[in-house]
Amino acid sequence: MTKGRFAPSPTGRMHLGNVFSALLSWLSAKSQDGQWLLRIEDIDPQRSRREYALWLMDDLQWLGLAWDGDPVWQSQRSDIYEHYFRQLQSQHLTYPCYCTRADLLATQAPHESDGRVVYAGTCRHRPPQPGAAAATRLIVPDGDVTFTDGHYGQQTVNLARHVGDFIIRRKDGAWAYQLAVVVDDALTGVTEVVRGRDLLLSSPQQLYVAQLLGFPPPHFTHLPLLCNEAGQRLSKRDSSLDMGSLRSHCSPADIIGFLAYTAGLVPEPQPLSANELIAHFSWDKVPRHDIVIGRSIESLEQKYKE
């Protein structure tokens, strides 16, 4: 059985770009008579808030994007991550990293569009510094990882040249994205991952971790990004396009229908439920280029205010 998933971080209200990813992930799974799981990625204690997670779940239900089974909360799975972390350590593929955030320029960020800098391996051969706070990095080989993306085709990435040794546990002890996501996808039986193309470079890292842990990898499909008129991907800073604002003047069918049109699934924006949209779904219809939606959503909002 196909098992898809939506795995948001509860660091603010969902915006239209998040809903776009959730909708296409849901449609992909349901068009194959599969299941769609919900995972709350709340492992960052500094930014995650339970109230944001509850808002998120309420928004999904309001939109008609029902998930199967109980949500998985990453904050409740630390012992599981610890087990697999020790497994990687036992392979002698990890080392402590004492670099500061300023040194790294936030290299651990999982978004390609955030200006990732390849880690130079500064700490790989440094002697341990007892008592000093350290992240843990995973050593990567100087070799290619090749996979076929469901939307963008064959991808080949050399981890050493394009990523560098990456963090699997932060200095504050929090689990890093690239470890937790691999463990969770494997243990919950996820077979396909549908998400924005800003996470495309994370896929070879996750395939490498899955290989080291002996997990079967999921199939990856990445989506074009929804962008504002400046060509910047939508973020939680675009408050006019968050679900709090959209719910104040649009119905679920308005939003689903607009996103269906944006994704190329229907020829014009019209109110549609998520269930009605299953029959229209095809990856062949979805564009590969990023989608500027600024004026379009303003027109939609105005239409339904009148």
Nearest to 60 by CA among 6, 123, 105: 6
DSSP strand pairing (153-158 vs 144-149): antiparallel
Residue 108: pLDDT band with limits 50, 70, 90: very low
What pLDDT is attached to residue 145?
96
Residue 107: pLDDT band with limits 50, 70, 90: very low
What pLDDT is attached to residue 249?
83
Residue 280: pLDDT band with limits 50, 70, 90: very high
CB contact set of 39 (below 8 Å; sequence gap of 6+): 5, 6, 7, 71, 72, 73, 74, 184, 188
What pLDDT is attached to residue 255?
94
Q: What is the DSSP letter of 289?
A: S
Q: How confident is the model over 252-265, as a mean pLDDT?
A: 95
What pLDDT is attached to residue 105?
52
What are the tens digits of pLDDT across the range 48-88? 999 999 999 999 999 999 999 999 999 999 999 999 999 99
Above pLDDT 90, what percent of the chain?
77
Q: How confident is the model over 78-103, as a mean pLDDT?
A: 93
Q: How confident is the model over 186-204, as a mean pLDDT?
A: 96
More confident call, 304 vs 70:
70
Reduced to 3 states (helix: H, G, I; strand: E, B; else coil), residue 268 is coil
What pLDDT is attached to residue 45?
85
DSSP strand pairing (166-169 vs 153-158): unpaired
Residue 116: pLDDT band with limits 50, 70, 90: low
Residue 293: pLDDT band with limits 50, 70, 90: confident
What are the tens digits of pLDDT across the range 138-189? 999 999 999 999 999 999 999 999 999 999 999 999 999 999 999 999 999 9
Nearest to 111 by CA among 7, 12, 201: 201
Q: How confident is the model over 291-304, as a mean pLDDT?
A: 64
pLDDT at residue 104 tops 90: no
Q: How many residues does the chain have?
A: 306
What pLDDT is attached to residue 296?
59
The dihedral through the CA atoms of 70, 39, 55, 266 has a sign that is negative
- Average pLDDT over all residues of the chain: 90
pTM of the entire predicted model:
0.91
What pLDDT is attached to residue 113?
45
Residue 265: pLDDT band with limits 50, 70, 90: very high
pLDDT at residue 109 tops 90: no
What pLDDT is attached to residue 238?
60
What pLDDT is attached to residue 294?
64
What's phi and psi for 100, nearest 5 deg?
A: -85, 165
More confident call, 244 vs 232:
244
pLDDT at residue 266 tops 60: yes
- CA 236, CA 241: separation in Å to the nearest integer? 8
